[in-house]
Structure 1
Amino acid sequence: MTGTNATTEQIEQWLAEKLALSVDLENCELTSDGRTMRLIYMKSLCDSKMIRRFFIAPFFEIRSMDLYVQYISSLPSGTKFTNVVRALDLILSGSVALFVDGKIYLLEALQDVKSSVGAATVEAIVQGPQDAFTESIFTNLNMVRRRYKSSNLKIENSTVGYLSQTAIALVYDDRKVDMGILTDVKDKFSQMKIDKIQSSGELEKALSPHGFRLVPTMMTTERPDRAIDNLSEGKIIILIDTSPFALILPSTFFDFFTAMDDKVQLPFVGYFLLVLRYVGLFMTLTLPALYVAFTSYNPEILKMNLTLLIAGSRASVPYPSFVEVLIMLVMMEFLIEASLRLPKAIGPTATTVGGLILGTASTEAGLVGSIMIILVAAVAISNFVIPINMMSFSVRFAKYWFVLLAAVFGLLGVVVGVIGSILYLCNLRSFGRPYMRLFHIHEQRGGGTDGHQ
């Protein structure tokens, strides 16, 4: 059935049948002075006050059907009827179908259930703006517009997901954006075949090439100021309705280690904090592996006193060092996961007490060495200095590869692991751009400039 070969009665009946089992369906007929009008919409999506004010009340106030049709046609939120499938999609997206005088009008009446703008909790900072994105795409666009008051800021709307029909907004500065990357992103959206999108992480997976990836190549953020900072560098921001996180692309490895605090600190303080994060990254990846290598394979590298200290702490441990490391690292992963999943009221207390009991009891029982407890605590703490959680989770997983290499090859395995990681990162691309690019080259893009030059 199409809009060109079906009557309004047939279209009305088809829509009613398709939505018949929906308890929030409103299918009502209005009559006044011999005139009739039918409305079909979803009560859970549409603003009932808007419908009464702009559609129902004028129907009873305007006595002429011709004048009412002119009024409806002049409303700016209308969409031209093309076919019944498109009409059904619009109704399920918050539009009202009006059947008036043998014609069909589709008018948007979406109820924007706004989440209150709260403080950032995932990427908390000491200084700087404290607000965070919400689940409402309109609220998020408002926060972006307030901070980036440029006529070059462009926003393109689209929908993804056959079932969810999730609204997304493509935000970019048309004078700074790389047109090659922008075209690539639009092509990926047009070719995307997916049932639903509910979060930025799902969209990131859908946009990324298939295959093994150890680190994220697109950044997610809840902070509007980070989004604006990346907009000014010519990057693309993707806002997803119902998700309080925005997607930033393309991204480099070094972007994941930049906190918004760095922008407001004194220069040397900012550089110090940045170096601290890279030291934390190196410690998280290599400390457990170095412990295994020095204990089981290459003890001669350490000073004699330190070698004897480690050997004394492991005197009662009945299994090899890599088993000891794996046991403590896995127990630490359990504690971290428990702290994330438990209710906030008891989570910190339960995990702190659990960590203390496990560490003390394991040492006294001779199952692990005392130095191992210090090492695991240092690894856990250093992992949390990484500002972006997506990268933090990847680093948590990557350290087990280093432990495995150290258990098989000793110190040589750790060196090979570091070199292999660097080569892997250098080979990665984020929408065609080198993942390990150190510097951003600010150039005038847009117009006819080729983004891949």
Structure 2
Amino acid sequence: MKKKPMAKPEPPELMEELAKKLKPSTDVMQIPLQIEKKQALLFYLKTVVDGDKLQNMIIKPFFEMSSIEHFESYINSLPDKVDIPETNELLIKITQGFVLISIQDRLLLFDIKKLNSDAVQQTVMEGTVHGPQLALSESLETNLNIIRQHYHNPDLTVEIIQLSDKTNRSIAIVYDSHTVNKKVLNQITSKLQQLKEPLVQSSGDLENFLTDKKYNLFPRTLLTERPDRIVYNITGGKVAIFVDGSPNVVIAPVVFFDFMTAMEDNYHTYWVSFFGTVLGYFGLLTCLLLPSFYVVFTSYAPEILRTELALTVTASRVGVPYPSYIEVLFMLIFMELLTEASIRLPKAISAAATTVGGLILGTAATEAALASTVMIIVVAAVAISTFAIPINELSFSLRVLRILLLLFTSLFGLSGLIIGFLGILMHLGNIDSFGEPYFRFFQKNKNEEKKVSNG
């Protein structure tokens, strides 16, 4: 559908029309510039425009130029100049930090927005010892600059899409045109263009909206803050989706094993990386299966353990007034409460409060015979193992799955545990991410095995 050409009212009339639509905002500025025979008119929102840049780029040169023709030539040569859109789109541009200039009955539009969120942040969710320590910022332009600096390849393609939500937020689709899966790219682009959500605040919001099935237990996209992980995935033919105002990036498509890959593994020798990978998968199995195994060993099949160990576990439960599955559920719920409290509390007191709360809870539970000492060890091992998973999104899913496995084990014993675990594997084999099978290693391209410089 072709855009209708914008009606051409006189520049002052257009600015008056824009000002009426922006009322009753008090930050609307209409600044006339005049000296001798030179005249110009500025229209912008003071709260979103960089005043220093406006002064040095527009206002100061206006008074220094010898004629209005020289000033107009200078203005036309500036790299921040953009085309004038239709009136409704022009209004959106003004709210984003663009400045409208009227010179000799000509309208010019310039990008002079103020960016208070362009500072690059430290990595928070995915820290490394030897890898890069800086993450992304909340500015789309800054994030794209970071990726360009990490990926010096002419095949790197950036497409900007304007969302139709109430914020008119910008989204950037970044990929390598040589290695990307065109079918996946078209599917992602189509979903973004058809997005009808009223509000998209961050990459996390967008991640949920891109998924067709709203009740997924496993994440179908990967959310990351690390530029090196983004470059690694772009090299492998995947698509990175940046949201203006969000310091995280959505990567698609993904497979299950992407969530078990730590970027730290790329900066160590083979055996050190292999050991870290083994620890990660051991932590995954421990946090998922250990609570259910405790129920199996104490209530259904104690003969699986050695006699000495079985007697030790049984002796630790002397005085506990309810079955083992109630004991496990009770402790898991309180562990989840401590985890949530550590997230919600202010950083200054979260670590101390949750540590003291955990110690007091564990000691009081054992002394009151509400939980066995072995159960305290199991819960501690489960908590530590959960934090060993590289990507938090997967650990959130496992926190739900271990409760479901505990339910199956409580009802059917060892058979329920085996059936529940096989059900999880079957579910993983039956889902996909943008058409790509979820439970397999991502198909590698020829260029994927090339080492990517990180800076």
> Which residue number corresponds to residue 417 of structure 1?
420
| Contact 1:153/1:173 (8 A) holds in 2 | yes
| Contact 1:294/1:410 (8 A) holds in 2 | no
| Contact 1:175/1:444 (8 A) holds in 2 | no
Give how far 1:114 is off: 4.7
2:292 matches 1:283: no
Q: 2:336 aligns with which of 325, 333, 336?
A: 333
2:226 matches 1:223: yes
Give how far 1:37 is off: 2.5
The alpha-carbon distance between structure 1 residues 117 and 68, as it changes in their structure 2 partners (threshold 3 A), is closer
> Which residue number corresponds to residue 453 of structure 2?
none
Aligned AA (1:191): Q
Q: 1:243 aligns with which of 243, 246, 249?
A: 246
2:388 matches 1:385: yes
Question: Counterparts of 1:345 and 1:68 in 2: how far apart (Å)?
Answer: 54
Deviates more, 1:356-365 or 1:264-273: 264-273
2:204 matches 1:201: yes
1:274-423 to 2 correspondence within 5 Å? 274-423=277-426
Q: 1:32 aligns with which of 27, 30, 35?
A: 35
Give how far 1:444 is off: 7.7
Residues 332-377 of structure 1: per-residue CA shift (max 9 Å, x gap): 1111112222222222122111111111111011111111111111
Residues 212-239 of structure 1: per-residue CA shift (max 9 Å, x gap): 2111111111111111111111111122
Question: Counterparts of 1:35 and 1:413 in 2: how far apart (Å)?
Answer: 84
Question: Counterparts of 1:4 and 1:140 in 2: how far apart (Å)?
Answer: 36
Deviation >6 Å, runs of 4+: none
The alpha-carbon distance between structure 1 residues 233 and 365, as it changes in their structure 2 partners (threshold 3 A), is same
Aligned AA (2:317): R
1:68-147 to 2 correspondence within 5 Å? 68-147=71-150
| Contact 1:8/1:99 (8 A) holds in 2 | yes
Q: 1:148 aligns with which of 147, 151, 158?
A: 151
Normalising by the residue count of structure 1, what TM-score does the alignment of the two structures yield? 0.92
Q: 1:260 aligns with which of 260, 263, 268?
A: 263
Runs of 5+ unmatched residues, structure 1: 446-453
> Which residue number corresponds to residue 435 of structure 2?
432
Question: Counterparts of 1:229 and 1:2 in 2: how far apart (Å)?
Answer: 43
Q: Alignment partner of 2:40: what SS?
A: strand
| Contact 2:236/2:445 (8 A) holds in 1 | yes
Residues 65-92 of structure 1: per-residue CA shift (max 9 Å, x gap): 4444444334332233242101101111
Give how far 1:416 is off: 0.9
| Contact 1:160/1:194 (8 A) holds in 2 | no
**Aligned residue pair count:** 445
Give how far 1:314 is off: 1.8
Identity level (%): 41
Aligned AA (2:46): K
| Contact 2:165/2:200 (8 A) holds in 1 | no
2:20 matches 1:22: no
Question: Counterparts of 1:399 and 1:325 in 2: how far apart (Å)?
Answer: 11
| Contact 1:363/1:369 (8 A) holds in 2 | yes
| Contact 2:176/2:235 (8 A) holds in 1 | yes
Give how far 1:160 is off: 2.5
Residues 164-184 of structure 1: per-residue CA shift (max 9 Å, x gap): 222222111111111111111
Aligned AA (2:168): Q
Q: 1:159 aligns with which of 151, 158, 162?
A: 162
Aligned AA (1:342): L
2:14 matches 1:8: no
Residues 378-417 of structure 1: per-residue CA shift (max 9 Å, x gap): 1101111001111111111211000111111111111111
Give how far 1:304 is off: 3.2
| Contact 1:2/1:84 (8 A) holds in 2 | no
Give how far 1:2 is off: 7.7
Aligned AA (1:359): G
Aligned AA (2:312): L
| Contact 2:29/2:44 (8 A) holds in 1 | yes
Aligned AA (1:267): Y
Aligned AA (1:235): K
Aligned AA (2:393): M
Q: Alignment partner of 2:237: what SS?
A: coil
Question: Counterparts of 2:263 and 2:77 in 1: how far apart (Å)?
Answer: 46
Q: 1:174 aligns with which of 173, 177, 182?
A: 177
Aligned AA (2:351): P
Question: Counterparts of 1:377 and 1:333 in 2: how far apart (Å)?
Answer: 12
| Contact 2:39/2:68 (8 A) holds in 1 | no
Runs of 5+ unmatched residues, structure 2: 449-455
Q: Alignment partner of 2:440: what SS?
A: coil
Aligned AA (2:142): T
> Which residue number corresponds to residue 451 of structure 2?
none
| Contact 2:320/2:371 (8 A) holds in 1 | yes
Residues 51-74 of structure 1: per-residue CA shift (max 9 Å, x gap): 222322333334544444444334
Question: Counterparts of 1:281 and 1:231 in 2: how far apart (Å)?
Answer: 26
